[in-house]
Amino acid sequence: MTTLKAVRGTRDLLPPETALWNRIEATARRVFARYNFGEIRTPVFEDTSLFARGVGEETDIVSKEMYSWEDRARAQSEKSQSLTLRPENTAGVVRAYIEHKLGETGQLQKLYYIGPQFRRERPQKGRYRQFSQIGAEVIGPPSAGSESPLRDAEVLEMLATLLDELGITGWQLHINSVGSSADRARYNDTLRAALVPLAHKMCADCQRRAVTNPLRVLDCKVPEDQPIIETLPKIADALDEDSKSHFAAVCAALDAASVLYTRNPRLVRGLDYYTRTTFEFTHGGLGAQNALLGGGRYDGLSEGIGGPKAPGIGFAMGEDRLVLTLQALNQGAAPPQVDAYIAPLGESLNPAALALARELRRAGLSVELGDGSFRLKKSFDAADKAARRIVILGEDELASGILTVKDFSTGIQSKVPRAELAAHLAQPAA
Ligand code: HAM
């Protein structure tokens, strides 16, 4: 029989690496709380049309990468429905915002999420078919200030703080403005026209994009296409006055907060809902898939999927890529060590060892429980790998209530009364 393996593009995450994932998530939750964000949990699958309408039919994500299926009706009262594993979570969050009438509170909604996303991409380092995003969205009616450039700058400043607190040094922030939907539409037409005499000299993807979604040509990474792309009209020249002053205000607020950034006029991003500010944080340690995170403003998304006017801005970080970056920076998780390893001397002492482990664990200590069938040398070897100290529990120790404890970092062996054992083990290793 062939052995079954995790599906291509998916992975198992194992200890000790999962400790690093947990540390990243705990840091993100802590930072989000300081900025007054609350957590939202939306379903992992949604109606396919949410992504078609929200993210855009012509995007790579919707046209090529979605895991969709026809969900058959189970009863006469049900209709069959096309469903899709979420490839991203902004559309789902905005759907929830509309469904729960969050706009009627009149307040800005500041929501974060952590969870799996699914895209049928070609797997490689940093690119998986199931990956995890840590994201956040700020969305609300214009009266709540949702259109203000201050919101854009605050989100970017929060990201700079979060990356710093995660220990990710050497990141780069790239920002751009893709203008209002009208600016984008106008620029798309300008680009389409400019590409007519050029597209046939470009890669196959660009030839297709030149017709379907000319903006995406700017994202092309094929080296031979770069000189042609450099000659194309710039989106900055297509922006109306409001979009220009919005972008200038974002930059001014970032300058005031000393957040470093680079203006990148080619940063258009791969999802259709963006308006005005777009951004990416990159890291050199990641190789080809160098985007740690991406995001931007989406002032028309809510209306595009049938909701009220609700401008917003948000981002999603690739958690898999945060892990890779921290590992490259040698900030990966070391195997954790428990406070104590209990070694019962003989199988008859196993029940007493369980009682002692329970006592210590209830006192808040982390404890690994050995087995009385192990020889002493085997217990010591296992304890040395897993724990800071070993506690020997033999007949004498049990009868006298005086335990033998060895500290691996100092090599010192001591006799400790059972009543003092928890306090002794709680002391940091020398
Ligand atoms: P995105 O740029 O498609 O934006 O994805 C955001 C981040 O998710 C990327 O920068 C990358 O770190 C990670 N990512 C994307 N695809 C993969 C993959 N196949 N494997 C591993 N990591 C991946 C969005 O998803 C938008 N919803 C972000 C947003 C929120 N915009 C506004 N609000």
pLDDT at residue 36 tops 90: yes
pLDDT of 230-282, one tens digit each?
999 999 999 999 999 999 999 999 999 999 999 999 898 889 999 999 999 99
Q: Which CATH number fits domain 17-172+261-328: 3.40.50.620, 3.40.50.300, 2.60.40.650, 3.30.930.10?
A: 3.30.930.10
**Ligand 1 pocket residue status of 112, Cβ below 6 Å:** no
Contact 183, 278 (CB under 8 A): no
344 lines ligand 1 (CB under 6 A): no
Nearest to 123 by CA among 39, 8, 46: 8
What average pLDDT is seen over the chain? Answer: 95
C-alpha 135 to ligand 1 mean position (Å): 9
Is residue 332 within 8 A of residue 326, CB to CB? The reply is yes
Higher pLDDT, 309 or 219: 309
Output 393-402 pairs: Cβ under 8 A, ≥24 positions apart.
393/342, 393/343, 393/344, 393/345, 393/349, 393/352, 393/353, 393/356, 394/344, 394/345, 394/346, 394/349, 395/345, 395/346, 395/349, 398/349, 398/352
Which range among 37-41, 106-110, 158-162, 283-287 shows the weakest confidence by mean pLDDT?
283-287
Cβ(291) – ligand 1 distance below 6 Å: yes
pTM recorded for the entire structure: 0.93
* 85-112 average pLDDT score: 98
Q: Does the Cβ of 268 fall within 6 Å of ligand 1?
A: no
Q: Under CATH, domain 340-426 is a member of which superfamily?
A: Anticodon-binding domain (3.40.50.800)
Q: Which atom of ligand 1 is nearest to the CA of 121?
A: 19
Task: Tell whether the model's pLDDT for residue 429 goes beyond 70.
Answer: no
What's residue 332's pLDDT? 78
Any atom of ligand 1 within 6 Å of the Cβ of 321: yes
Whole-number percent of the chain with pLDDT over 90: 86
- State the closest ligand 1 atom to the C-alpha of 271, by its place in the atom list counted from 1: 3
- How confident is the model over 128-137, as a mean pLDDT? 98
> Locate tokens 């070609």: which residue?
122
Question: Is 335's pLDDT higher than 90?
Answer: no
Can the peptide bond before residue 308 be classed as cis, meaning omega within 30 degrees of 0? no
* Residue carrying the six token digits 């050029």: 198
Cβ neighbours for 234, distance < 8 A, ≥ 6 positions apart: 265
Give me the mean pLDDT over the 207-216 stretch: 89
Asked whether 272 lines ligand 1 (CB < 6 A), one says no
pLDDT class of 430 with cuts at 50, 70, 90: low
Mutate-to-test residue for ligand 1 from 32, 89, 119, 131, highest number of ligand atoms within 8 A of CB: 131
Residue nearest atom 12 of ligand 1, based on CA coordinates: 318
Which residue from 117, 118, 319 has its CB within 8 A of the most atoms of ligand 1, so it is best to mutate?
Answer: 117
Mean pLDDT of the region 145-166: 98
Which positions ≥6 away from 325 have C-beta within 8 Å? 168, 283, 285, 286, 292
Per-residue pLDDT tens over the stretch 176-190: 999 998 998 899 899
Integer Cα distance of 430 and 421 in angstroms: 17
Q: How far is the CA of 312 from the centre of ligand 1 (A)?
A: 17
Q: Enumerate the domain spans of the chain.
A: 17-172+261-328, 340-426
* pLDDT average, residue stretch 327-339: 85
Cα–Cα distance, 149 to 152 (Å, whole number): 5
Percentage of residues of the chain with pLDDT beyond 70: 100
Q: What spacing in Å lies between the alpha carbon of 160 and ligand 1's midpoint?
A: 17
